[in-house]
Amino acid sequence: MEVRARAPGKIILVGEHAVVHGSTAVAAAIDLYTYVTLGFPTPSDNDDTLKLNLKDVDLEFCWPVGRIKEVLPDLGSHTTSSPSSCSLETIKAIASLVEEQNIPEAKIGLASGVSTFLWLYTSIHGYKPAKAVVNSELPLGSGLGSSAAFCVALSAALLALSDSVTLDFSHQGWQMFEDSELELVNKWAFEGEKIIHGKPSGIDNTVSTYGNIIKFKSGELTRIKTNMPLKMLITNTKVWRNTKALVAGVSERTIRHPKAMDSIFSAVDSISSELASIIQSPVTDDLAITEKEEKLEELMEMNQGLLQCMGVSHASIETVLRSTLKYKLSSKLTGAGGGGCVLTLLPNLLSGTVVDKVIAELESCGFQCYIAGIGGRGMEISFSGSS
């Protein structure tokens, strides 16, 4: 029996940075996925190892299960139905297992993800031999939730072959978990995200688990559904940014200009609330969709202007804004800013020729482009082989 799980990436539609200061933000799943395939060897395979294959970066790791048990003697006794956090001592022990694999220096940034794999796998399945294969449509470190999608897809695959969830193994194609099982996946994925990021908000893994769109404010998450088709051009500027420094910069500006920044955050809160209202309201025809798209474009432009006021734009982002504006398209940064990715709303009636021209111009600048549907399904799984 082999299971394959997929989990979507995410974008922040509106509200980034301001959300740290009490404003509403809106995040959405995108139909770019991370996939995890998991299978156990048969007794005739005579294989007593745990393998992890990261296909996109051409790396494979292999640990004898006896070595894992030696380094992590207490992990195999966890209760799958009630996730707990990974202790600092355990993280250090797992790090020693990862170091034994001699990850190339150029790819050392993947070490925390490999550690997360070892912890999640051993916590849920103990010391059983297995092979996991990971591949993704999401660029790493670009603000599209690649680490959360990895944690969600991995948690789903692990739980699917455990006793904690009830699934139809004969079902053909992708299937979804029940709500209570999705909640369990989300909890495990959040614990995995903690290993990678330290103090994640939980937004990325929640969007990846449940899909659709999430509105969040002051730690409270509300799942909402869009009633209109939304498509975005996502442009990856490939400019690395320091998220912590960007967040700190906004906070410092808030200390220097409290009244002005409070007004900015209040405006962002209104933009986020209005956008959420627009995408939830019913649509009757193409004209209604067009009218909504025009409003969304204006809200995106307003939010981008306010993000510029916060000081988190970048020359690469401005290049994307100028390029898309030539074609009367509206864009904004998504996530931390300072580089990273930019969203451009693609109206329902926009011709493919125009889209091709925009993409060609952006790619000529060295950027990478993706077209993605917004607010779609969350994590799903499929099975192959015989039990």
Dist CA 279 CA 263 (whole Å)? 25
- For residue 76, the one-letter residue type is G
Which pLDDT belongs to residue 77? Answer: 64
Dist CA 41 CA 161 (whole Å)? 13
Dist CA 2 CA 38 (whole Å)? 6
- For residue 94, the one-letter residue type is I
Residues 59-93: tens digit of each pLDDT: 999 999 999 999 999 876 668 888 989 999 999 99
Res. 109 pLDDT band, cuts 50 70 90 = confident
Question: What stretch(es) of the chain map to CATH 3.30.230.10?
Answer: 2-221+375-384
- pTM of the predicted model, to two decimals? 0.91
**pLDDT reading at 387 higher than 70:** no
Active-site positions read 204
Dist CA 355 CA 367 (whole Å)? 15
Question: What stretch(es) of the chain map to CATH 3.30.70.890?
Answer: 226-370
Residues 244-272: tens digit of each pLDDT: 899 999 999 999 999 999 999 999 999 99
Least confident range of 5-19, 22-36, 157-171, 242-256: 157-171
**Beta strands of 137-242 (E only): which ranges?**
213-217, 220-224, 231-236
Q: Tell the CATH topology of 2-221+375-384.
A: Ribosomal Protein S5; domain 2 (3.30.230)
* Average pLDDT across the chain, whole number: 93
- Choices 3.40.190.10, 3.30.470.20, 3.40.710.10, 3.30.70.890: CATH for 226-370: 3.30.70.890
**pLDDT reading at 196 higher than 60:** yes
